[in-house]
Structure 1
Amino acid sequence: MGDFGYSFEGYDPTRHVRASLREKQISHKHAREISLHIRGMTVEKARDFLQAVIEKKRAVPFRRFKRQVGHRSDPGVMAGRYPEKSAAEFIKLLDNLESNAEYKGMDLDRLTIVGAVAHKGILIKRFIPRAMGRSTPKNNVLTHVELVAREA
C-alpha cells in the first residue's frame, strides 16, 4: 500500500482530527455526494443522517451526478438517492474519526466536520470472455475518502 497524504490544508494537530478510508469498493459518485452533504455537520448529526439514509428515511441530495435520478419528497432535496453501502462505510469512518478524537483528548460533542473529500482510487481491470474470442472489459474504480473534524 502506498504512502497517502491528506488534501486538507491548514491542518492543526491541536485543533483538528482526521481519518481516512482508502481503496474501498464503493461508488466514488455516491461518496462525493455524501461528503458534500455532511460537510459542516456535527459528527452526531452526520451519523443520524447516514443511519436515516440506510433506513431509506432521508435521501442524499445529488448535485453533480443527477442525470436520470428521480426526485425525492425530502424537503430541500430535488434529485436524490439512498446509497446504503456508501453510507455504511461512512459510518465506520465516523467511528474511526471519533476514536482518533478520543485518543487526542477532544470533546466528542463539539466535533464539527470541516473537511470531507472523496477521490477516485486505482482502477481494477478485468475482462469477461464473450463469444467468438472477444472479451468485454469490466473495470472497477476504488475510492478514497478523507474526513477532517475540528473541535468547536
Structure 2
Amino acid sequence: MPTWHYSTDIAEKNPEKTAKAMMWDAPISPKEATELARVIRGMKLTEAKAYLERVIKMEEPVPYRRYHGKVAHKRGLADKHGIPMGRYPVKAAKYFLKLLKNVEANAEFKGLEVEKLKIVHIASHKGMTIKRWMPRAFGRATPEFERRTHLEVIVEEVE
C-alpha cells in the first residue's frame, strides 16, 4: 500500500495552531488546480471560500499565469492580479471548496477559530491518468485520457 504524506512539514512545527486536509484522485485538470491553488494561497479561509463561490457562479475569473496559451482576456483581471488572461474553472473550484470545508471542519474539531484561519500551504500534484480507447472507423482508435489530481491544504490560526 502506498503511504501518503504532505509535501511540507509546516503542520508538524506547530500542530496546536494548524489543521490540514487532503484529497486524492480528484477528477480535475492538474493545470486548472495549479492556477486555482496559486490564487487562494495566502488568503483567509473565509475569503477563499467566498472567492471560490464567485468562481463557481462565474462572477470572478481565475488568472492563468503559467498555463495561459490561447486563453482569452477577462475584464478587470489586469487591474486586480496584474495579468489579463483568465478562465472560470468551475469543476476545479467545486473540489477546492469541498477541500476547504473539510479543513474547516478539521480546524473546528481541534478547537481553532475559523475566522482567524489563514491558508499557509496549498498544493496540487498530478495523479494517475486513466487511459481508455474509443474505437473509430477504419480500425482506428482515439485516446480518452482522464487525468486525476491530488490536493492538499494546511491552514494556520493567526492573530
TM-score (norm 2): 0.91
- Counterparts of 1:140 and 1:127, CA distance in 2: 11
Aligned to 2:75: 73
- Note if 1:141 corresponds to 2:147: yes
SS of aligned partner of 1:14: coil
Aligned to 2:20: 18
The one-letter amino acid of 2:72's match is G
Query: How much does 1:101 deviate?
Result: 0.2
Q: Please list every run of at least 4 consecutive aligned residues from structure 1 whose deviation after the TM superposition is greater than 6 angstroms.
A: none
Aligned to 2:8: 8
Gaps of 5+ in 2: none
- Counterparts of 2:26 and 2:96, CA distance in 1: 11
Query: How much does 1:135 deviate?
Result: 1.5
The one-letter amino acid of 2:117's match is L
Query: How much does 1:123 deviate?
Result: 1.1
- Number of aligned residue pairs: give it: 152
RMSD between aligned residues? 1.2
| Counterpart selection for 2:136 from 130, 144, 148 | 130
Alignment of 1:1-152 (within 5 A): 2-11=2-11, 12-74=14-76, 75-76=79-80, 77-152=83-158
Q: Tell which deviates more after alignment, 18-27 or 68-77.
A: 68-77
Query: How much does 1:16 deviate?
Result: 1.4
- Counterparts of 2:3 and 2:26, CA distance in 1: 16
Q: Looking at secondary structure, tell me which structure has more helix per residue.
A: 2
Q: Tell which deviates more after alignment, 38-47 or 6-15.
A: 6-15
TM-score (norm 1): 0.95
